[in-house]
Structure 1
Amino acid sequence: MYATENTPWDAIVIGSGMGGMAAAAALSHVGHKVLLLEQHHTLGGLTHSFSRNGFTWDVGVHYLSEMAPGDRARALLDWLCDTPMDFVPMGSIYDILHIGSAEPLSLSRPYESQEMDLKDRYPDETEAIEAWTKAMRSGHDAMYKIFPTRAMPEVAGDMLDWWNRSSISKWCARTTQQVIDEITDNPELAAVLSAQWGDHGGRPSKASFAMHALIAGAYLPSGAWYPVGGASAYAEHILPTITKRGGEARAGVRVDELLFDGDKVVGVRTENGTEFRAKVVISDIGARETVDSLLPENLGYEDWIAEIRTLPCSIAHFNLFLGFEGDIEAAGATRANHWFYPTGATDVVWTDAPDGSPPHMAVSFGSLKNTAHDPGPRRKHMGQAIFWADWSTVEEWSDMPGSTRGEDYKTFKQRAEDTLMGHFENCFPELAKLVVYHELATPLSTVNYTGHRKGAFYGLDVTPERVMCHALRAQTPVSGLYLAGQDVASPGIPGALWGGLLAAASVDRRVFRHFQR
């Protein structure tokens, strides 16, 4: 027996991550009554924050691009928000690379400054560095030729792809490593050029170069930014846009399946059996998760479903949440992020957990970037150390609920935490002395909180096949069903924002008018 809520919704959005919030708020702005449903007990998806022992961490926000006043993404975000969010710049230097035994290399903006950073370090590679800058600009532009097709009817999108086929083939169809190999044979410079791949989760040998150029290059024009008040500010500012226009945002509601009238999606059924009806349903839970968990068997559309299922997941990760007390800047913490590759190799992930040394670590100190953070008399600060890893490290426990994983998993997790804390201490010996709290999240945590298969932090991997995949258009072949979020556009918060806007524009073309803001 199922209970049906009688409220007639114009749209239901599944998942309250950045893509879901953006889609819901955009449709609310043009007159739609939207119901936003989130399985987790906190709204916001990977923009949510959590607290332990007086410390608060932002789960999925470490820095942001295109948030300067006047940037198009910033203008669109301002439109989505009930009250504008504030962002603070991180400064001219936003990433510091530690490649093997080489001296740390600070990356600054804009393009011209970063090109000079590289030429100062590698004076014999001037021609290669100039070629890299040119390639980055071209790859970035190629991705923006693909994005509009994600909100177009199939025929129009195919025509635009054909028109741009030369640029797409040159930059989207090749991997980051292929482009680097054409530019330089200097192994240290090659490592530097690929080091920021963790910003999109695509290993250099697998990722579309255009996606790397889009994400890594996005910080160069107007810098890196951080939300004042932390990541939770997104939900605080966007959700009222929905609720003040007759919509609702509900946490702790897991959607189990879609409802159909013939071959058209007309609503959703939740885990507890409640049914909600709507004219359209937008899924922000991931393309693969949508086809695997929400669609009934024998629905049809086998080609579309099969194309999505051929696309691999992005990388998994371990996240070490760190709580400090003391003067962390004097001990080595910075507003800029740090990328460590101790062996000098960058196309690497942690495969021999829990005891093997991780080949990579990315470190971010969110409280130094958030000007609203009050460290108090005990000078409390927060940081995160992220370690990209293979799903196989935790796969044996993946089918077990958290409460039933047993002593083997507890031992594994503790040993992994000890190993990773030791690695952090090796890289930041003085900072490690100020750590008063630490907690490890494994790839299983990502599965639990996001539902992403294999702990894929960024959804689908950013392979050339994914970048050029026609099955990832926002309007699916299933009538009444749309996709939103980073799988539609690109990984990360800005990409998910665009993915949500493209979904909303596919539902109601009036949203397109605001893309020129």
Structure 2
Amino acid sequence: GIHYIGQMQEGSLMRFLVDQLTDGQLEWAQLPTTYDAVVLGDPQGAGKTYRLHSGKQEYFRRLKEQFPGEAAAIDEFQRLVKSSARGVMLLGILKMLPRFLAGLLVRSRLLPRLCPFSRLASRSLKEVVDGLTPNPELRAVFSYLFPTYGVHPSKASFSMHSILVNHFLHGAWYPKGGAGEIAFHTIHVIRKAGGNVFGKAPVQRILLDPQGRACGVSVKKGQDLVDIFAPVVISDAGIFNTYKRLLPAEAQALP
């Protein structure tokens, strides 16, 4: 399922890409301007509620209203979030560079100087927000999105957290008709382009060619295994599923 999605405002790059994937058939409903609330303490009792508002400037302005005297900390948080989020583009460029040049930038430690995202990536969310303010409630509001990606602030990269904060600055949206509408409208586009989509066909393993490159997947269809070959295999299974479950034993044993 989907909780909500950011950056779906008209004219945004994200909206353009989703419209291309769904042939413009997927409609989005924007959540209210106050799209999130952070409740600290007993939600049924004397807990405090802080509200998050959509808008690149409104988001931070409303935080200042709820935390008078913390304007400097909120301004610095805003600066770090925007700086880190902009740095993501530089990481994209890094992946397009020749490997030797990208390696040189990393080994020479020039990358953190050139790219704010890289500079802040090694600092935890907790470390950064603890350095911004001694106010535990403001720290909690700065960090409240961490359950979305499931990593505790002491272990989460501030740069990765910044991407998510920036993602929701314009507010939040939900697909009309529910999350299933995304797949429904995407399948048509994939098939129109000559592709296909398999439902209820869990991947059992990744197939490798003699050179050890991924060349397909084996899926379960009913009680049978079906091998599907492709020139390119793209996966979002994650490192643990890939190495512990999907790759053959001989590949798992490689250094």
What TM bracket, shorter-length normalisation? Answer: 0.7 to 0.9
Q: Identify the match of residue 187 of structure 2 among 239, 249, 257.
A: 239
Offset from partner CA, 1:97-136 (integer Å, 9 cap, x none):
1112453111112232222222222222121111111111
Offset from partner CA, 1:199-229 (integer Å, 9 cap, x none):
2222111100111111022111x22111111
Correspondence for 2:20? 79
The structure-2 alpha-carbon separation of the partners of 1:154 and 1:104, relative to structure 1 and needing over 3 Å to count, comes to: same
More strand, by proportion: 1
Rounded to whole Å, the distance in 2 between the matches of 1:174 and 1:72 is 29
Asked if residue 133 in structure 1 is aligned to residue 81 in structure 2, the reply is no
Q: Which amino acid aligns with 2:229?
A: R
Correspondence for 1:297? 249
Q: Which has the higher contact order (CA 8 A, sep 6+)?
A: 1
Contact 1:85–1:227, Cα closer than 8 Å, also in 2? yes
Contact 2:125–2:143, Cα closer than 8 Å, also in 1? yes
Rounded to whole Å, the distance in 2 between the matches of 1:149 and 1:169 is 11
Rounded to whole Å, the distance in 2 between the matches of 1:246 and 1:81 is 15
Rounded to whole Å, the distance in 1 between the matches of 2:59 and 2:96 is 34
Correspondence for 2:240? 288
Rounded to whole Å, the distance in 1 between the matches of 2:253 and 2:104 is 22
Q: Identify the match of residue 194 of structure 1 among 106, 129, 143.
A: 143
The structure-2 alpha-carbon separation of the partners of 1:103 and 1:260, relative to structure 1 and needing over 3 Å to count, comes to: closer
**Residue correspondence of structure 1 range 361-400 to structure 2 within 5 A:** none
Correspondence for 2:173? 225
Rounded to whole Å, the distance in 1 between the matches of 2:153 and 2:246 is 32
**Residue correspondence of structure 1 range 487-506 to structure 2 within 5 A:** none
CA drift of 1:297 comes to 2.3
CA drift of 1:284 comes to 2.7
The structure-2 alpha-carbon separation of the partners of 1:268 and 1:111, relative to structure 1 and needing over 3 Å to count, comes to: closer
The structure-2 alpha-carbon separation of the partners of 1:78 and 1:254, relative to structure 1 and needing over 3 Å to count, comes to: same
TM-score between the two structures when normalised by the length of structure 2: 0.84
Q: Identify the match of residue 279 of structure 1 among 225, 231, 241.
A: 231
Rounded to whole Å, the distance in 2 between the matches of 1:151 and 1:298 is 31
The structure-2 alpha-carbon separation of the partners of 1:268 and 1:169, relative to structure 1 and needing over 3 Å to count, comes to: closer
Q: Which amino acid aligns with 1:281?
A: V
SS in 2 for 1:273: strand
SS in 2 for 1:279: coil
The structure-2 alpha-carbon separation of the partners of 1:279 and 1:301, relative to structure 1 and needing over 3 Å to count, comes to: farther
CA drift of 1:83 comes to 3.9
Rounded to whole Å, the distance in 2 between the matches of 1:148 and 1:200 is 25
TM-score between the two structures when normalised by the length of structure 1: 0.44
Correspondence for 1:183? 132
Correspondence for 2:159? 210
Rounded to whole Å, the distance in 2 between the matches of 1:268 and 1:290 is 12
Correspondence for 1:475? none
The structure-2 alpha-carbon separation of the partners of 1:254 and 1:115, relative to structure 1 and needing over 3 Å to count, comes to: closer
CA drift of 1:253 comes to 1.8
Give 5+ residue unaligned stretches, structure 2: none
Correspondence for 2:218? 269
Rounded to whole Å, the distance in 2 between the matches of 1:273 and 1:102 is 53
- After superposition, the CA RMSD in angstroms is 2.4
SS in 2 for 1:223: coil
Contact 1:145–1:164, Cα closer than 8 Å, also in 2? no
Rounded to whole Å, the distance in 1 between the matches of 2:118 and 2:232 is 34
SS in 2 for 1:130: helix
Q: Which amino acid aligns with 2:111?
A: N
Number of equivalences: 243
Contact 1:90–1:225, Cα closer than 8 Å, also in 2? yes
Rounded to whole Å, the distance in 1 between the matches of 2:202 and 2:144 is 37
Contact 2:243–2:252, Cα closer than 8 Å, also in 1? no
Contact 2:87–2:117, Cα closer than 8 Å, also in 1? yes
Rounded to whole Å, the distance in 2 between the matches of 1:287 and 1:150 is 19
Rounded to whole Å, the distance in 2 between the matches of 1:120 and 1:235 is 41
Contact 2:244–2:252, Cα closer than 8 Å, also in 1? no
Q: Which amino acid aligns with 2:181?
A: A
CA drift of 1:243 comes to 1.2
The structure-2 alpha-carbon separation of the partners of 1:102 and 1:148, relative to structure 1 and needing over 3 Å to count, comes to: farther
Correspondence for 2:208? 260
Rounded to whole Å, the distance in 2 between the matches of 1:99 and 1:76 is 37
Correspondence for 2:34? 93
Q: Which amino acid aligns with 1:245?
A: A
Contact 2:84–2:162, Cα closer than 8 Å, also in 1? yes
Contact 1:172–1:211, Cα closer than 8 Å, also in 2? yes
